[in-house]
Amino acid sequence: MSMEVKMPDIDISKEMKSISSREKMIRYLDGYSAERMEELDERKTKRPLVKSYMLEHIGETGKQREVTELLSDMRIETQKIDEKLYRVLDMKENKEYMGFLEVLTPRYFVFYTLHHSGKANRWVKNLVLNSSELDHVWLSGLTFNVLWQRVAQISKPHRYVSILFVHDSIYQIDSEIYEDENDEDEEISSSFDEGDVVEVIERRASKFKLVDKISIVQEKLSKLQDLYSPLYAISRLRFPSPVGKGGHDFYDNGKVTNRSGNFRDHRSHILYVQRIYDQLTKMTEEKVWYSIYKETVTIPGQFQKLIGSPVTIKFGETLTKETFDHWINSIFGRINEPRFKLWGNPIILGPKKVHVYGVDKHLWKPIFLELTDKHLIAIVPKGTCGNTIHRLICNIQRYVDPAAKAYIGETEYKAMVDESSKGVKYEPGY
């Protein structure tokens, strides 16, 4: 276990203030990463690791605001370094530099920070909660299972890969508790002997960390997943660095921790995954968006045609009525449910079947849902962000059914992820 001795956050602000170009930022974060790697080797980090957060903007719908303008509404100042790179100064409270913001495309940007994980996690989470125009990049277990294959292709078989599996069936009981993400980056965790603190969990809760050679994981993982379904719920995957020791930990909410000594390589991996995700989102939207087209007709009444593919998420296990009821109540009965981010009034059609004519809180666009104990079916109108689909799949795997399978029309979602990744090349040192 590595331990961290916390340094005052004001040091970060002073160092950031002096950075006036992209190259200076890269050199600074490169040197900082190399120092942290030496400390990781000694199993005692003095300062936080570099963390990056992949975020999605409003989408390419033609009327989006610049992300800098959006942040300004939240009293966050972006100080321009170049056309696509900014220092980020939070004007609230202590007027604190939080990190750097890089605009990757009109739709995606990434936030780099040196703050402690807990502080950075909360800050980014609040950005998303306080703006309907922002969302996390959502990497589901289905997506990670494809990305894992890409790890195996671009890495040497003797390198070690780290995979974290997390499934927590929170809807088996009625609970309003929404915990923050654990500070996995700093590897600060309590021992198994917790003294007088005893937690009684009356639901399935599985968390496994697998670290082994890529060649061994290639041989064993699919067999293990067939035996125990929570192993489908990958929530963190490490890409080994091709330029040195360590690697880059990608989380299911788009967070990426640099556990290598090279920031350029860290950024290259972010760009690689972002391009795959961008292709997947575009492909998803092309298939799921429905539109009503008016046609020239001669037969009265036949003047509209509905096109588009439904999203179907099939559960591997039938939900109990208690779990189903808690799930529906949590999504639609509580105002600030942060996981699924849906709003609507369920129409009860049976003991375990509801229809919802609702909206996605990201962009407040409509979405039509059928939820049962065996599946979820979503109809997504044009303009509703494809990121909504990724979020649905990601959170169903993590909190409802890890072995759930998703389809866009008749096409398996996992096959779409695979197709989206085929034309994207990893470019080292980009």
Name the band, by pLDDT with cuts 50, 70 and 90, for residue 175.
low
Domain ranges of the chain: 3-136, 138-176+200-425
Q: What does the buried/exposed string (b/e) look like for 298-324 if buried means 16 or more CB atoms within 10 Å of the residue's CB? A: eeeeeeeeeebbbbbbebeeebeeebb
Task: Provide the pLDDT for residue 63.
Answer: 61
Task: Provide the pLDDT for residue 4.
Answer: 45
109 with 55: CB under 8 angstroms?
A: yes
Does CATH place domain 3-136 in 3.30.70.1400? Answer: yes
Number of neighbouring beta carbons within 10 Å of residue 147? 20
Alpha carbon distances (Å) from 339 to 51, 226, 250, 343: 22, 27, 18, 12
Longest CA–CA separation in the chain, Å: 79
Q: Which two tokens stand for residue 328?
A: 């529906």
Give bridge partners of residue 249 from the DSSP assignment. Answer: 238, 257
Tens digits of per-residue pLDDT, 311-326?
999 999 999 999 999 9
* Sequence-separated (6 or more) residues with CB below 8 Å from residue 335: none
> In terms of residues, how long is the chain?
430
Task: Provide the pLDDT for residue 301.
Answer: 42
Tens digits of per-residue pLDDT, 87-114?
999 998 678 899 999 999 999 999 999 9
Nearest Cα residue to 266 out of 5, 34, 18, 13? 34
Give bridge partners of residue 89 from the DSSP assignment. Answer: 77, 97
What's the chain's average pLDDT? Answer: 86
Q: Quick check: 304 pLDDT over 50? A: no
| 275 vs 183 pLDDT, higher one | 275
Q: Quick check: 6 pLDDT over 80? A: no
Q: Is the dihedral of CA 179, 254, 94, 116 positive or negative?
A: positive
279 with 420: CB under 8 angstroms?
A: yes
Range 171-187 average pLDDT: 55
Query: How many helices (H) does the chain have, and how many strands (E)?
Result: 10, 23
Task: Provide the pLDDT for residue 307.
Answer: 56
User: Cα separation of 122 and 207, whole Å?
Assistant: 22
Q: Read off the DSSP letter of residue 184.
A: G
Strands 108-113 and 44-45: unpaired
Give bridge partners of residue 248 from the DSSP assignment. Answer: 239, 258
Tens digits of per-residue pLDDT, 370-399?
999 999 999 988 888 899 999 999 999 999
Name the percent of the chain lying above pLDDT 90: 67
Which residue bears the tokens 């666009």?
365
> What is the pTM for the complete model shown?
0.89
| 12 vs 414 pLDDT, higher one | 414
Nearest Cα residue to 340 out of 350, 349, 348, 330? 330
Task: Provide the pLDDT for residue 337.
Answer: 72
What DSSP string describes 279-316? Answer: HHHHHHHHHHEEEEEE---SSTT--EEEE---EEEE-S
Q: Read off the DSSP letter of residue 173.
A: S
Considering only CA atoms, give the Rg of the chain: 22
Number of neighbouring beta carbons within 10 Å of residue 37? 20
98 with 113: CB under 8 angstroms?
A: yes
Tens digits of per-residue pLDDT, 414-427?
999 999 999 899 98
In one-letter notation, the amino acid at residue 3 is: M
Q: At what angle do helices 263-288 and 413-422 cross, to 10 degrees?
A: 130
In one-letter notation, the amino acid at residue 298 is: T
Task: Provide the pLDDT for residue 170.
Answer: 87
Specify which of 145-159, 174-188, 202-216, 326-340 reaches the highest per-range mean pLDDT.
Answer: 145-159
User: Cα separation of 66 and 106, whole Å?
Assistant: 8
| 98 vs 205 pLDDT, higher one | 98
Cα 249–Cα 144–Cα 175 angle in degrees, nearest 5: 85
